[in-house]
Structure 1
Amino acid sequence: MKNMLIIFAIVLKVNLSFSQEWVPVWNEEFDYSGLPDETKWSYETGCANRNNESQYYASKRLENTKVENGFLTITTRKETLNGCNYTSGNIHTRYKANWLYGKIDVRAKLPKGKGMWPAIWMMSTDESYGTWPKSGEIDIMESVGFDPNKIFMTIHTEAYNHVIGTEKGSNKLLTDVYDTYHIYSIEWFPDRVDFLIDGTKYYTFPKSGNTTAVWPFDKPFYLILNVAVGGDWGGAQGIDPLIFPQQMSVDYVRVSKWQTNPGPYTVTTSSTSGGTFSLNPDLNTYPKGSIISLKATPQPGFVFSGWEGDISGNINPINFTVYDNAIIKAIFKTECELLQNGDFASSMSKWNMYTGDGAIAQTTVNNGQCNIVISNGGTNIWSTQLSQSNIPLLTGKSYKLSFDAYSEQSRTIKAGVGKNSDPFNTYSYNTVNLITTKKNFALQFDMNNTSDQLSKILFNLGSNASDVYLSNISLCDLSKITYINNEVEIFNEGMSISYENEKVHLTLPDLDRYEVNIYDFNGNTKFSNSLTGLKSTLDIKNFKSGLYVVKANNLRGKVLTQKLIIN
């Protein structure tokens, strides 16, 4: 039997100075049966996602990822699926459990044979410094089948990575990685990352400079467990077709942090507009080891988006154990909103700034506006790109991308939504003409491609060195509404509506920009537009007689609804 640790679903980030002992903050014991726990794990899917690998990573398929008898098993199979000749599994904790510093322990047994490439590794959650390798990669354990029993421990950054032959790391030759479980670990501090196997340290990567090119490891990372088949490294000596199926078996994943003071501790809480949350028990201070229940409650027209501050993930309600002072913020967004931090209230959180092809650009946030200062735009329009990923788009639905923008000098940019992996095709891609004064842009599109749960919104700003300023970015699912039948909750503070001669006369409570939608009784969107100013006239001459709902919301969280009856 495993020694059960305290089970949480979130992580507290801490100052690691003057630490005294490791204390558990998250773990996965795989003490259930079926698919991996979706409150902790997500799937990467697709064929040959990176490194010219040969497998298809399948989602929610017991043949490839299965929990049974206290173990997670990731199985590689020689079978054709979606154009690939092999299948396997890849699960990760991104946006569900993310850590800044701490100890990661994974007890695992590895697959065997030429072509196998198992990995236990970590990537930057928000890619704050750019796409790979700029935001870093920590390979806790890698092994390739043609080099039996050898374990590789590696760091990748912009300055140190395998593409330019400068990666940093070490390796250790063991004797029994295929038949015996070993504990693969890192101990991650503000000044170094230590790599361990079975508690023995074999390599240390020290912080040798203050630039992100050599040390991007001051942002939260998430954990990945996968087995690749073939690829540039794993398949360097071919794939043995006779070895399949092969399995990586994982006994547990345990995450700890250094305790920094003996307590008692404070928990400081806040939330964005659109909801409230409660602590139980709600005390001024908490003794070490106190278990707190935290629940977020959205207001009508809003949904809970996730936690920020010293909690990661979006599980609600949730329990956690207090081991240090904590700051917790609950994030709410309007129910149609697909983006996070579109108002830049949390600085650049969730946003990624990419530069390539010689481009040089820096971002700052002031008063809810993202300022992209471009010294060199690079050779292509995509050489300078602001993006946010992990956005679900569903076939047949309608969406609306809106934002405020202007530039240092008149110029064009490209804005849209597209695939976040090769071949990076776009679902909506528009030329936007910017001038030197702020202007609102609204781009509506239908998703005519296959559903993509991991798409990204993108602003391509390259091939031009004029600075760009963006704010109030929103991507709205136009099918999302707050009512099902006649019992619509009316909250029309300061909003009034009148209907005359096939026109709706709308008065809004202030001069903010509002997203205004009109829905029919069945929930279909009949009108959608961004409006500013106190009074507007809407032409609805094609509307049939019946009951409608007018909904107006601004980016500060105000949501107004009112019935409209057309005779």
Structure 2
Amino acid sequence: MKRLVKGPKSFIFIMILSLVVTLIPISTANAAYNLVWSDEFNGTGIDGNNWSFETGGGGWGNNELEYYTNRSENARIESGNLVIEARKESYGGMNYTSARLKSQGKKSFKYGKIEARIKMPKGQGLWPAFWTLGADIGTVGWPKSGEIDIMEHVNNENNTNGFIHWDANGHASYGGASQAVDVTQYHVYSIEWTSSAIKWFIDGVQFKEANIANNINSTEEFHKEHFILLNMAVGGNWPGSPDGSTVFPAKMYVDYVRVYQDGGTPPPSSSIVNGGTYKLINVTSGKALDVASAGTAPGTNVQIWSDNGTAAQKWTLYQNADGTYKLINVNSGLALDVSGSGTADGTNVQAWTDLGNGAQKWSVVQNGDGSYKLINANSGKALDVSASGTADGTNVQIWTDNGTGAQKWTLVKL
């Protein structure tokens, strides 16, 4: 989804053998990553801590036909999905509306695995995309910022596309089409991005790879932080204009966006027993994660308390299908939960009925010292003892991951 004109007949390709690591790469994705951030879209509205809207018309360098708005008609949360809706309507001097969200200035990443679970419409003139831009685009411009197109789909094609764009004494690009895929059903679109290569996957199956090792072919743009974008364009140089067969409104559904990075430690499943019961001892205080007064009602506060061996301090860890864990308190049968599915620093942690939502999903990530941090899947924030407290009854909350002892927990198998 370009800042400048782009389409199969207008690309400036650098087709250099050294850029292509594997001409026909088919493999499965590397699983040795730790979740560092996600948006599960389980709240009631689009999280302003993660996303902002780009608005306006004018073609966006591609002669696109939509006007991007920040209205709920064009972007909203529905049933655990971000919905981006393109509509045929006159607005801002354009004949179509849609939405374009970006994490610029809020979340940016260098290297790792970036993925989203998406289903999207087919239709002449429709152009949904999941992509990144270099965080320095405001100062260096495009294409010197670099761009990674994780997933683009146009028209009624039975495949998607993955590309990179950069500056090599002018606009350079490399990439191509995926294997056949029914884009109207949910699929996981991802890249694995290291200092050596960028690899594209659908549902864990690789279809393209680019060599960026040692800035080969002036690819230094891919060794710096990028932010994430999600949008659906209407029209443009690549897809062309809609016609009478195009169905509006057209909706793109995004179930989640997740970013993983290789912290150099084994994935938690290698050391955590699925279905095992543990006590969680905070490293700073030496006290246990505890349900206040051994309460059994949803909404009971979670705190730290002197390790006393009671069931209120025992938690059974069950692994979810996405690799995260839910923590079920043995005494109450309630799940470790972020109040109100909150994402702000200081949001309270409580015990609540097991719902299976992102507020109750935790990535259990081993630290270098053998302790663990628990990262909430919905907020991307860590399980934290308020103000690094050590007294019985000190509150437990979520807070930005800062690596302090207040966020480190020793898991003791019972």
Correspondence 1:381-400 to 2 at 5 A: none
Query: Which residue pairs with 1:85 in the alignment?
Result: 95
The structural deviation recorded for 1:32 is: 2.0
What residue is the counterpart of 1:497 in the other structure? Answer: none
Instruction: Give runs of aligned pairs for residues 86-165 of structure 1, distance below 5 A.
Output: 86-127=96-137, 130-145=140-155, 147-159=156-168
Counterpart of 2:158, as a letter, is N
User: Comparing both structures, which one devotes a greater share of its residues to helix?
Assistant: 2
SS in 2 for 1:30: coil
Query: Is the contact made by 1:42 and 1:92 (CA closer than 8 Å) also made in structure 2?
Result: yes
Change (3 A) 1:286 1:57: farther
- Residue 528 of structure 1 corresponds to none
Tell me, in whole angstroms, the C-alpha distance in 2 between the residues paired with 1:81 and 1:101: 38
SS at match of 1:176: coil
Matching residue within 229, 234, 242 for 2:239: 234
Paired AA for residue 37 in structure 1 = D
Structure-1-length-normalised TM-score: 0.42
Q: Deviations over 1:517-544 (max 9, x none)?
A: xxxxxxxxxxxxxxxxxxxxxxxxxxxx
Q: Kindly provide the amino acid, as one letter, of the partner of residue 27 in structure 1.
A: S
Using CA pairs below 8 Å that are at least 6 residues apart, which structure has the higher relative contact order? Answer: 2
Give the whole-Å Cα distance in 2 for the aligned partners of 1:229 and 1:74: 12
After superposition, the Cα gap between the structure-2 partners of 1:37 and 1:20, relative to the gap in structure 1 and judged at 3 Å, is: closer
Partner of 1:218: 223
Residue among 21, 35, 41 paired with 1:24: 35
Relative to structure 1, is the Cα distance of residues 99 and 87 closer, same or farther in structure 2, using a 3 angstrom cutoff?
Answer: same
Q: Percent identity?
A: 38
Choose from 288, 293, 296 the match for 2:372. Answer: 288
Counting strand residues as a fraction of each chain, which structure ranks higher? Answer: 1
1:177 corresponds to: 183
Task: Give the match for residue 248 of structure 2.
Answer: 244
Query: Aligned partners of 1:130 and 1:294: how far apart in 2?
Result: 41
Q: Which residue of 2 aligns with 1:370?
A: none
1:259 maps onto 2:257 in alignment: no
Where in structure 1 do 4 or more consecutive aligned residues deviate above 6 Å? none
CA contact (8 A) 2:135 2:145 kept: no
Helix, strand or coil at the partner of 2:167? coil
Amino acid corresponding to residue 87 of structure 2 in structure 1? R
Q: Distance in 2 between matches of 1:294 and 1:100?
A: 29
Note the C-alpha offset of 1:85: 0.6
Residue aligned with 1:144, SS: coil
Cα deviation per residue 1:412-445 (whole Å; 9 max; x = unaligned)?
xxxxxxxxxxxxxxxxxxxxxxxxxxxxxxxxxx
Change over 3 Å in CA distance of 1:128–1:83 after alignment to 2: closer
TM-fit CA distance, 1:234: 2.1
Out of 170, 173, 196, the residue aligned to residue 167 of structure 1 is 173
- Residue 20 to residue 85, structure 1, CA distance change in 2 (3 Å): closer
CA contact 2:373–2:383 (8 Å) conserved in 1? no
**What amino acid is the match of 2:91?**
L
Q: Distance in 2 between matches of 1:174 and 1:322?
A: 43
- 1:176 & 1:261 partners in 2: Cα distance? 36
- Establish whether residue 41 from structure 1 lines up as the match of residue 51 from structure 2: yes
Q: Residues 20 and 28 of structure 1: is their aligned pair in 2 closer, same or farther, counting only changes over 3 Å?
A: closer
Please give the per-residue CA displacement for 1:379-427, whole angstroms capped at 9, x wherever unaligned: xxxxxxxxxxxxxxxxxxxxxxxxxxxxxxxxxxxxxxxxxxxxxxxxx
Structure 1: stretches of 5+ with no match in the other structure: 1-18, 267-276, 279-283, 297-316, 324-567
Q: How many pairs are equivalent?
A: 263
Partner of 2:48: helix, strand, or coil?
coil
Is the partner of 1:216 in helix, strand or coil?
Answer: helix
Change in Cα spacing, 1:288 to 1:322, as seen in structure 2 (3 Å) is farther
TM-score (norm: length of structure 2):
0.57
The structure with the larger Rg is: 1
Q: Quote how far apart the aligned CAs of 1:262 are.
A: 6.9
Instruction: Verify the 8 A CA contact 2:86 2:98 in the aligned structure 1.
Output: yes
Q: Verify: 1:207 aligned to 2:212, yes or no.
A: yes
| Cα pair 1:170 1:203 within 8 Å, conserved | yes
Q: Distance in 1 between matches of 2:105 and 2:34?
A: 22
> Residue 500 of structure 1 corresponds to which residue in structure 2?
none
Does the 8 A contact of 1:160 with 1:168 survive in 2?
A: no
Unaligned runs of 5+ in 2: 1-29, 268-282, 284-344, 347-367, 375-381, 388-397, 405-414
> Is contact 1:160-1:167 (8 Å) kept?
no
**Are positions 1:66 and 2:147 aligned together?**
no
Aligned to 1:417: none
Residue type matched to 1:176 in 2? Answer: D
**Displacement, 1:82?**
1.0
Whether contact under 8 Å (2:130, 2:231) holds in the other structure is: yes
The answer to whether the Cα contact below 8 Å between 1:120 and 1:224 also exists between their aligned partners in 2 is yes
Aligned AA for 1:171?
A: A
What amino acid is aligned across from residue 186 of structure 2 in structure 1?
Y
SS state at 1:210 partner = helix
Given that 2:196 and 2:214 are in contact with CA atoms closer than 8 Å, whether structure 1 keeps it comes out as no
Change (3 A) 1:160 1:99: farther
